[in-house]
Every structure is written in structure tokens, then in C-alpha cells.
Amino acid sequence: MAAGVVLLLAGPVLADSNSDYRAGSDFAHQIQGQGTGSIQNFNPQDSIPGYNANPDETKYYGGVTAGGDSGLKNDGTTQWATGETGKTITESFMNKPKDILSPDAPFIETGRDVINRADSIVGNTGQQCSAQEINRSEFTNYTCERDTTVEEYCSRTATITGDWKYTDEYREVTISHSQFRFGRDGKKLVFSFTAPVSGTVENAELTVYAAFYFLNS
């Protein structure tokens, strides 16, 4: 009797499975090609707000075989330096307060506490645990910050006060013959002397007496 019951129930199960398959197959035939048609007939202008088939950014793409960036790097640098976004980021970075590390910071204190309580946390227990004496050197780097040296220049105009006057001094000097140095330049007789005073010669007079009277004039 048990086997008969099983056979009677098997028939409806197969019938339901076939009907479900047929319904799914019919639905698949109905929608066949709709996905491809949706892609082929898709109009992005109607579905995507602000869609532009030829945006300005297309000039940077020269195809899969292009060798350069078509000016993308230069334009990016220029936009960073002149654009409001780049200026805002730069100002935020420059004006950001310094991160000050304090020995009393919570994460440092927690680390020190773990070191101090290492024996109670791990303990000398377990097959792989054994007490070890460790010698180590700790190096600490200290960094000092200071403002950049600022050089400033100022100018002022000096004035002379008091009484003064310009004066001219005229002096008459006689050079004796013993102070002259004589020489010859070809057929010419030349002479020189050292002036005992400095200044500008306004007038000079030379008197020469020769052994022959007719040469005197």
C-alpha cells in the first residue's frame, strides 16, 4: 500500500513541473530580444540629465594606441593653481593646525601600559613562553620648527644742518729751476716737476733764460 501511494503522488508532481517549465519557456520566448532591443534603441539624451555626447574631456582621449595624455597633466596643474577648488584645498592644507604629539596622548599611554604589564598579560606560561633578557637601544628624534627668516629693509634721507659756505682759495706758487727734471724727446727738450699743492691750475707762466741772449724772448 505504501508503494501505491507513492506512485499516485508522483504523477501530479511531474505534471506541475512540466507546466512550470512550459510557463517559464513561454515567458522567455515572449521577452526574447527585448534586452538587446533596449540597448540598441537606448537614447541617453532622454534618460540621462545633462548628457553630452562630446564633452570637453574627450580631447584628452586619443584612443587605445595614443601615447600621451593630450595635455591632461598641464591642464590639471593649471586648474589646480587657478581654480577655486585647488585654491581651497591648498589654503586648507597650509592653514591646517600642526599635529602635536604629546607623551600623554591616550594611545601612547596605552602602549606604555601594555609594556609595563606585559608579564601579567602574557606571563611565563605555555610551552613557547620563556623569560628573556633583552637589551635594546631607543633612538628619539626631536624636530624643532621655527619661522622662516624675514629680512626687511628701510631707507631714510639724511640732511645736513648748520652753517656752511663754499670758498675758493687761490695760491701763487713759484717753482725754482732746481725742482725741474729735464729730458729730451728726439729734438725736443722736455721737463717736468712735482706740484707742491693740489688743485686746478688756472694760469701758468714759464720763464726760460738761455746762455745765448738771442734765445731769450
The four Cα atoms 99, 102, 107, 111 give a dihedral, to 10 degrees, of: 140
Residue 15 has pLDDT above 50, yes or no: no
Find cell 628624534 and name the residue.
141
Residue 11 has pLDDT above 50, yes or no: no
**DSSP string over the chain:** -HHHHHHHHHHHHHHHHHHHHHHHHHHHHHHTTHHHHHHHT--HHHHSTT--SS-GGGGG---TT--S-TTHHHHHHHHHHHSHHHHHHHHHHHHSPP----TT-HHHHHHHHHHHTHHHHT-S-STT------------------PPP------------S--------------GGG-EEEEETTEEEEE---SS-S-----------SSGGG--
In percent, the amount of the chain with pLDDT more than 70 equals 77
What pLDDT shows up at residue 149?
67
Residue 204 has pLDDT above 50, yes or no: yes
Please say whether the dihedral angle defined by the alpha carbons of residues 72, 77, 81 and 85, taken in this order, is positive or negative: positive
> What gap in Å lies between CA 216 and CA 4, rounded to an integer?
176
In the chain, domain spans: 70-95
What pLDDT shows up at residue 14?
46
pLDDT digits (tens, 9 = 90+) for 44-84: 888 888 888 888 878 877 777 766 676 788 888 888 888 89
What pLDDT shows up at residue 8?
42
What pLDDT shows up at residue 210?
64
pLDDT digits (tens, 9 = 90+) for 140-198: 777 777 666 667 778 888 887 888 788 888 888 888 888 888 888 888 878 888 888 88
What pLDDT shows up at residue 126?
59
Find cell 733764460 and name the residue.
209
What pLDDT shows up at residue 13?
45
Residue 1 has pLDDT above 60, yes or no: no
